[in-house]
A and B are shown apart, each in its own frame.
Chain A
Amino acid sequence: MSDVVTPGNLTVEARDLSRWFGQKVAVSEVTCGFGPGVTGLLGPNGAGKTTLLRMLTGLVRPSAGIVTILGVNPRAESDVYRKVALVPEDEQVPGFLTAQEFVQFNATLQQLGDPAGAAARALDVVGLADVAGRDLSTFSKGMRQRAKVASALVHDPEVLFLDEPLNGTDPVQRAHLIGLFVGLGAQGKTVIVSSHVLGEVERMADRVVAMVDGRLAGVGTITALRNAMSDIPRKLRIECDQPRVLAGALIGRAYVGGVDVEDSALNIDVLDSDAFGRELASIAVGTEVRLVSVEPRDESLESTFRYLVGGR
């Protein structure tokens, strides 16, 4: 798996992608690419994630722009779906089918050699083997979700789109599915996960694509996104043996925005990370303060995302 998406390993690409419904612009001029590994597609409700995913998969026609999956336009060449799968957000499933029939139906359309066997294996992977003979209409939301995942995985796709795949699942199932998706990413599959639950995405994704109001708000690893926000003070926590002494030495320096002292640590807002990084060690030596640790307080996906959506 590659950590960096380069033009050479792009499997899914969107160029100047827009979609409007009447007067409403759902997605506006989005250009981004996806490659092997797990990418989180983030955004608050109404950000345009589902519309973007639908355009990427070929379900919805773009008003403008181009989509390619594995180099082809999915709406023009249905053969690409041999290597692509979608787990849609919508709860609706064909309730008149059993789980086995539902997954086997996809295996048949994928022209697999042994659809029944492939379906049984996929259901086993998501932990539904015991209820394979039950109608989907009798399934809970979480079970339906897992049946949809089994159906999507039955043909071992290269590119997997997941729209809120963990909806309705219990914590055990969620952990299992997250492990499954991370494993697929590690195998070099392109896994694109849309979610508004940041904690889940943080556990799965190597990289995020953030959307706000139909536009791209940021693309990259969480650290890279945070680093790119040079206008926002970086919040750090420094544990040391003399926090008051260190605070006194730091206050007044140009790259320090604010300092809050605790018993054995200080919280500091840093305006210029590079300058701070260069000088901290010498300040500590000069003041004879023993540093224990320096930790970022806002490099979580949640805080980064909050900055991106404007709640700075």
Chain B
Amino acid sequence: MRSFVAIARYTFRKLMNRKRVIGLMLLSAVPAVIVGLVGRRAADSTEVFHGMAVGVLMAVVLPVIGIVNASGALGDERRDHTLPYLSLKPVARSVLVGAALAGAVVATLLIGAVGVGTLWIAGGLVSGEWTVGAGPALGLVVIAFGYGAVFLPVGFLFKRATLIGLLYVFFWEAILASAVTSLAASSLWRIGLQAYAATLDTLPRDFTDSLGNVSPSVGSAFIKVGVLLVLSVALSTWLLHVRDHVVGNGD
């Protein structure tokens, strides 16, 4: 347990690099700024809030934060040649992987919380409705674990994991999964939306369009993410067994 906490803490501190964190936090605050500016003048400020929460925060901002953190957790260590400081230790590979994943997820939750929190405040101020933030908060948790699970092994395997992640977000999720209803289930942020939608009595149009054939359900969302986490730890543990822990030819 001590090793798990130590590695998770190490990973978290590495990912909370000051410049990167400031950039991601500014990015995550963008939806709140837009809601603050547009919400008061809108006929239905709650709809503006949900539109920003779904269309910008959950579909773009949180996935980007999750991808950047998860792909860097083990991948940067491997490419920076600092993975030996973690892997040449009497620590089970699965513990190492689980701890790195935990560190990345906590980093995503913390940075993402700035976006959710500021949006919550902006939504509450413009609509007078202070419960609106619960759904995005739930979505953040699901998204942090979901993207963390998928992009941890991707980061270990590919140098350009962040680029791969951005292509996935902006091409697969934004275009293909939006256009083809049956592909909605392959979109990670829509798992977060599935949990978010379950907190609402009536679904705004944005939600039904984005969810496609996915039904609102908190339990289902967490089960999916749980399966992804198990698969991710198993795959990444296997990768640590079969792949080199440093990239490059050496001498």
A86 and B88 in contact, given A24-B249, A61-B243 (Cβ under 8 angstroms): yes
Q: What is the CA–CA distance of A63 and B13 in the complex, to the nearest angstrom?
A: 35
A109 and B3 in contact, given A60-B250, A92-B81, A96-B17 (Cβ under 8 angstroms): yes
Q: How large is the interface on B (under 10, 10 to 19, 20 to 34, 35 or more residues)?
A: 20 to 34
* A-chain residues with CB within 8 Å of residue B245 when the two chains form the complex: 58-60
A54 at the interface (CB under 8 A from B): yes
Q: What is the CA–CA distance of A78 and B80 in the complex, to the nearest angstrom?
A: 22
Nearest Cβ in chain A — how far from B104, in angstroms? 15
Total interface residues in chain A, CB < 8 Å: 41
B41 at the interface (CB under 8 A from A): no
Other-chain contact of A92, B2, B10, B82, B244 (Cβ < 8 Å): B82
* A-chain residues with CB within 8 Å of residue B81 when the two chains form the complex: 88, 90, 92
Give residues 1-36 of B contacting A (CB, 8 Å).
Answer: 2-3, 6-7, 10, 13-14, 17
* A-chain residues with CB within 8 Å of residue B89 when the two chains form the complex: 78, 81, 106, 109-110
Nearest Cβ in chain B — how far from A157, in angstroms? 10
Q: Is the pair A105, B6 in contact by a Cβ cutoff of 8 Å?
A: yes
A78 and B249 in contact, given A105-B6, A108-B3 (Cβ under 8 angstroms): no
- On A, residues with C-beta under 8 Å from B are 21, 24, 26, 45-51, 54, 57-61, 75-76, 78-82, 84-86, 88, 90, 92-94, 96-97, 102, 105-106, 108-111, 151
Given contacts A59-B88, A78-B93, A106-B85, 16 further A-B contacts (CB under 8 A): A47-B251, A48-B251, A49-B251, A51-B249, A58-B88, A59-B245, A59-B246, A79-B90, A81-B90, A88-B81, A88-B84, A97-B13, A109-B3, A109-B7, A109-B89, A111-B3
15 A-B pairs (CB sep. < 8 Å): A57-B84, A57-B88, A58-B88, A60-B244, A75-B241, A78-B92, A80-B90, A81-B88, A93-B85, A94-B10, A94-B82, A106-B85, A108-B3, A109-B3, A109-B91
